[in-house]
């Protein structure tokens, strides 16, 4: 099934070796490398290292990261997540299972367990709306199309993700704030106008 291709499995590699002794053996006089690493790690100011790393990441932005316009008029529409296979998929014997150009809808096989909200991380109104929305909905993932991700994470006290154009284009997110959620075997997008919004609870 093509869905299996979408699941990434990581298998730890394990190396097995046998001890082979030939001739005389001698005691190792050099310092144990593991202990040496432990001693060096204890001398490092990890708080300072973390702070420097955070400062460097603070200004990081994905290459495809760009702001979307703010919602001026509330709207709701369907969006397709049908996937087109770009390359032939064959089995171990070389038989073509799915030809190039084959299309399938992932939502025929899986259920999205959460809603996705998209906001401008530079706009306090968006962050306040997201905070209220999260409190009123059980499973929510937050994406920003603009702004500093670590500051938004700190404010909302949860993980926040960048949403570059590869995500927003694929999901047809046109303005922010917007809410994306599964509706049967389709996805629905609700564009939220904060001026007319009632604390983020206007989604049916």
DSSP letters of 118-133?
EE-TT-HHHHHHHHHH
Q: Environment class of residue 72 by beta-carbon count within 10 Å: exposed (0-12), middle (13-18) or buried (19+)?
A: exposed
The share of the chain scoring above pLDDT 90, in percent, equals 42
- CA separation for the pair 190, 172 (Å, rounded): 11
Query: Which of 87-91, 94-98, 134-138 ranks highest by mean pLDDT?
Result: 134-138
Taking the whole predicted model, whether its pTM rises above 0.85 is answered as no
- Whether the pLDDT of residue 16 is over 60: the answer is no
Q: Environment class of residue 128 by beta-carbon count within 10 Å: exposed (0-12), middle (13-18) or buried (19+)?
A: middle
- What is the model's pLDDT at position 27? 55
Residue with tokens 């993980």: 159
- Pairwise pLDDT comparison (26 vs 125), residue with the higher score: 125
pLDDT in tens, 132-166: 999 999 999 999 999 989 899 999 999 999 999 98
- Pairwise pLDDT comparison (63 vs 114), residue with the higher score: 114
Task: Please compute the mean of the pLDDT values over residues 110-131 and round it to a whole number.
Answer: 95
The phi and psi torsions of 4 (rounded to 5 degrees) equal: -60, -30
Task: Please compute the mean of the pLDDT values over residues 13-41 and round it to a whole number.
Answer: 54
Q: Give SS3 for 187.
A: strand
What pLDDT band is residue 45 in, cutting at 50, 70 and 90? Answer: confident
Q: Are 158 and 181 in contact (CB under 8 A)?
A: no
- CA separation for the pair 36, 28 (Å, rounded): 14
Residues in the chain: 204
- Whether the pLDDT of residue 12 is over 80: the answer is no
- CA separation for the pair 6, 89 (Å, rounded): 13
What pLDDT band is residue 76 in, cutting at 50, 70 and 90? Answer: very high
């Amino acid at each position: 099934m093509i869905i299996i291709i979408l699941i990434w499995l990581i298998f730890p590699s394990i190396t097995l070796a046998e001890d082979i002794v030939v001739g005389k053996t001698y005691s190792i006089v050099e310092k144990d490398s593991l202990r040496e690493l432990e001693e060096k790690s204890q001398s490092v100011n990890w708080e300072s290292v973390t702070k420097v790393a955070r400062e460097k990441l603070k200004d990081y932005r994905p290459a495809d990261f760009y702001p979307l316009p703010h919602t001026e008029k509330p709207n709701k529409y369907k969006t397709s997540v049908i996937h087109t296979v770009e390359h032939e998929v064959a089995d171990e014997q070389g038989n073509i299972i799915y030809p190039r150009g084959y299309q399938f809808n992932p939502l025929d096989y899986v259920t999205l367990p959460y809603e996705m909200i998209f906001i401008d991380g530079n706009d306090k109104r968006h962050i306040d709306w997201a905070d209220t929305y999260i409190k009123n909905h059980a499973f929510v993932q937050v994406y920003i199309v603009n702004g500093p991700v670590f500051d938004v994470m700190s404010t909302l006290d949860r993980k926040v993700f960048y949403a570059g154009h590869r995500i927003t284009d694929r999901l047809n997110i046109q303005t922010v704030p917007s809410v994306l959620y599964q509706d049967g075997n389709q996805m629905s997008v609700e564009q939220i106008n904060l001026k007319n919004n009632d604390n983020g609870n206007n989604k049916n």
